[in-house]
Amino acid sequence: MTDLDPVIHAPARLMIMTTLDEALGDRDEVTFPGLQKLLGMTAGNLTTHLAKLEAAGYVETTKAFVGRKPTTYVALTPEGRGAFRRYRKHLLQLLGGNS
């Protein structure tokens, strides 16, 4: 288990990565409130975990204006998707199951 990616191997961050992988195609972005709704997390908790994932280069956040309203968009980077798929494969190999 020690070889599993420690950035992803935390329940909250695994939930975020799973959701982003499921909800977003390549070059897609979701708004911060939209992601929060999908995860059912508090804004503070989500911000903290997104910062860790962003520091690892797994997600990217972009600030933009929708009309006059500032909005934060979250995207899964190609490195992030690759890391998540490797993590999932590795975990399944260790447990001998599938998801």
Partner 1 sequence: MVALMREQRRATRAQLDRRFTILLVVWALAWCVGFFALWSAENVGGNPAFRIPEQVAWPLFGGLMLAGIVWSIMTGVLAGRDFRGSSQLAGMLYGWSWSVAMTGAGLFTFGLQRAGLTGEMSALLYPGLFIILVGTLYLTGAALERSPGMFALGIVMIATVVVATWVGSPTHYLLYATVGPSALATVAVLQARGILPTVSEELA
Interacting residues with partner 1 (CB under 8 A): 9, 11, 14-15, 18-19, 22-31, 33-35, 37-38, 73, 75, 85, 88-89, 91-92, 95, 97, 99
In angstroms, give the least distance from the CB of 57 to partner 1: 19
* Long-range residue pairs from 40-47, CB within 8 A, at least 24 positions apart, any chain: 41/12, 41/15, 45/12, 46/16
The answer to whether residues 5 and 87 touch, using CB atoms and an 8 Å cutoff, is: yes
52 or 81: whose CB is closer to partner 1? 81
The answer to whether residues 23 and 75 touch, using CB atoms and an 8 Å cutoff, is: no
27 or 44: whose CB is closer to partner 1? 27
In angstroms, give the least distance from the CB of 18 to partner 1: 4
In angstroms, give the least distance from the CB of 9 to partner 1: 7
Q: What is the dihedral of CA 20, 81, 6, 37, to 10 degrees?
A: 0
